Amino acid sequence: MTRPLIIAVDGPAASGKGTIASRLARTYGLPFLDTGLLYRAVGMGVLASRASLDDESAAVAVARSLDAATLSDDPRLMTGEAGEAASRIAGYPGVRAALLDLQQALAHQPGGAVLDGRDIGTVIAPDAPAKLFVTATAEVRAMRRWKQLTGRGDAIAYEDMLADIVRRDERDAGRGAAPMVQADDAVLLDTTEMDIETAFDAARRIVEAARVRNGL
């Protein structure tokens, strides 16, 4: 049986990993999941229920009832508020456990899939034959996210965006449950000095090397 082509794309916020992962999925004809949307949906669900983001039990209840099929149609999930909410509830072990099976089922479907997130190569699909860890400096990532949000009409200062990026990095890397960390066998892709075309081409070459290495 041919081994599925699972492509794990991890990294911090605004590194370019989402754009790279979605383009890899189109290139290889594979299903794609931005796992960050799951956590954004849970965070926004907690807020919609008027519960506190500090209430793990409320977050777990939302995670257990999540309908992943509706995620791509909700523009609220791309707001700064959703990103902050996701970062706050993503460290709850109960939330991560509730979403684990959903993510692993998609990753390991026949043929494979592309997933991007913080713990794909370490927790969700440690057996993925192609693993990338996409990053960039905090300053560059903050500028990218600032341009994205202000372009959508959100009012936020660049300095506040940078502080938010740094805070989320610390939270994601320091949490006890599935912290953001580069897998030992992941290839580092630093996009600080790259435009998206250059970054995608580098990512595609990493995946092609992995396919050759694994006979896929």
- The token duo for 170 is 């610390």
* Annotated domain spans of the chain: 5-214
Q: What is the pLDDT along the chain (216 residues), one digit of tens a residue?
A: 578 899 999 999 889 999 999 999 999 999 999 998 999 999 999 999 999 999 999 999 999 998 877 676 778 888 878 888 988 898 899 999 999 988 999 999 999 999 999 999 999 999 999 999 999 999 999 999 899 888 888 888 999 999 999 998 998 888 777 788 999 999 999 999 999 999 999 999 999 999 999 988
Phi-psi category of residue 116: left, alpha or beta, with phi > 0 → left and psi -120 to 50 → alpha:
beta
What would the CATH number be for the domain defined by 5-214?
A: 3.40.50.300
- The token duo for 6 is 């699972």
Element (DSSP H or E) covering residue 6: strand 5-10
